Amino acid sequence: MEMSVQGTILVLDDVSTNRIMLKVQLTAAWYHVVQGEKVAGIAALLRRTRPDLVLTAQTLPDGTAKDIKRLMQADPTLADVPIVAIVPQNDKAARLRALSDGLDDVLGYPLKDTLLLARVRSLLRARADRQELDVKDGSQSIGFAEPTAAFFAPAHIARIAILSQSARTGALWKTALGGKTRHHLSNHTLPNLQGVFSGKPPDAIVVELEKDVAGLKLLADLRSRGATRHTVLIAVLADEDADLAAEVLDRGADAVCLGGFNTDEISLRLETQIARKTRDDRLRATLRKGLAESLTDPLTGLHNRRFAMRALDQIARQSLRSGRGFAVMLADLDHFKAINDRFGHAAGDLVLSEAARRLEAAMVRPGFVARIGGEEFMIGLPDISSKQALRQADRICESICHEPFQLCDHPTLIPVTISIGLNLCAPPDLVKADESDPVTRLIRSADKALYAAKKAGRNQVYLRQSAA
């Protein structure tokens, strides 16, 4: 049976035995491994193989891991690929140098399988999440956000919480980090998390973990909560326990510091991780904004047709579950073309905006108001009786006609009225043989009611009791 490859990893090292050992470890975990020995020619290799992660010796015959990073940052399609430096096990200076160069992580050689593979899984998982944001955002095609090349966006002043086993340890860590970082620090004692969850959630948490189940449960809990799901989690382990570090990474930690608290290492990791989080937060905000805009009418600020159709479908499904009826209204401003012809389209836009404001203000029951085109609006009302629906429709009519519309640059007051077609829907109306889209039929029924209201003289509500 053909092996399913989990990702492509580029291994760079001029020592062949190191490359061979890494390849054995990684291919056993079903990763595709590509190998290189030096910086020269690496650009072509990167373009050809498009790795998902790079493991590189910190020093190569003709350059360093920092040079590899610089090459990859210059290519927007590779700028978010994680780069991990491999350094001698006890060389703390080399570890700090790799982190200060902006590399995603640094591992000590010889590498234990469990820790290596856990770090690979963690980095690839984080990259997949970022790629999903980029794909959904579509920033390079529609211009919503900065391109991938701007990966390390300047980070804001972040809130960092320190969780320690004792108050004394937390105070010492806070003092030490305070001299190294510009971010706001607070310290809390485990297992009391009240301070962490009160107020705005922290951007990063530095947590002291011991070799017990409680610490692993804490990480899983922090990663699963909505408030801290995207918070940077940096774990500090007192010992060089590779197995525990691997478990910590698999439970959701973004980084692990082995051998106890090291101020320089943690401050460097915080800067890299917070910069990454800042960019991801901006992408998420852009996505939320883009989604809202895709469901909003730009002129009136009401929901648009796309939203209305989805919302009405949900109301219909809810009606089937609850057994209670709902209402759909189509409303149309009367003689709107005459307003445009007499006063101009700018005046017509003002009338539409004011009509939208009045419609929303007239809604006294749960439901939605949407502009679905031109001067036409849709109103959906769940869980409502015929008497309640008629009262709501009459209130909408009154909101439009009770007071003329004032144009800001014209002395004339414009009288405006509205006609409404109201369709009362019961669950049996939604179940008909050989029908895949009952909602469209219900809308057509409301449209017929609107036509009848227009034909009867406008400025009124016309009711249809069923969708038949």
Integer Cα distance of 356 and 362 in angstroms: 10
CA distances from 456 to 140, 421, 427, 452, 460 (A): 53, 12, 29, 6, 8
pLDDT at 5: 60
Integer Cα distance of 365 and 409 in angstroms: 35
Helix (H, G, I), strand (E, B) or coil at 283: helix
Question: What confidence tens digit (pLDDT) does each residue in 169-226 have?
Answer: 999 999 999 999 889 999 999 888 887 888 889 999 999 998 888 888 999 999 998 8
Classify strands 204-209 and 184-189 as parallel, antiparallel or unpaired: unpaired
pLDDT at 148: 41
- Architecture of the 1-149 domain: 3-Layer(aba) Sandwich (3.40)
- Architecture of the 305-464 domain: 2-Layer Sandwich (3.30)
Q: Phi and psi at residue 460, in whole multiples of 5°?
A: -160, 170
Residues of the chain with CATH 3.40.50.2300: 1-149, 152-291
Q: Phi and psi at residue 251, in whole multiples of 5°?
A: -85, -5
Integer Cα distance of 296 and 282 in angstroms: 21
Question: What confidence tens digit (pLDDT) does each residue in 175-188 have?
Answer: 999 999 889 999 99
- Architecture of the 152-291 domain: 3-Layer(aba) Sandwich (3.40)
Residues of the chain with CATH 3.30.70.270: 305-464
Residue 376 host element (H or E)? strand 376-381
The rounded average pLDDT for each run of 10 residues, N- to C-terminus, in the chain (468 residues) is 69 94 94 95 93 96 95 90 92 93 92 93 90 58 39 69 94 94 92 81 94 88 90 94 94 94 95 91 84 88 92 90 91 93 90 95 91 95 92 94 85 90 85 70 92 92 69
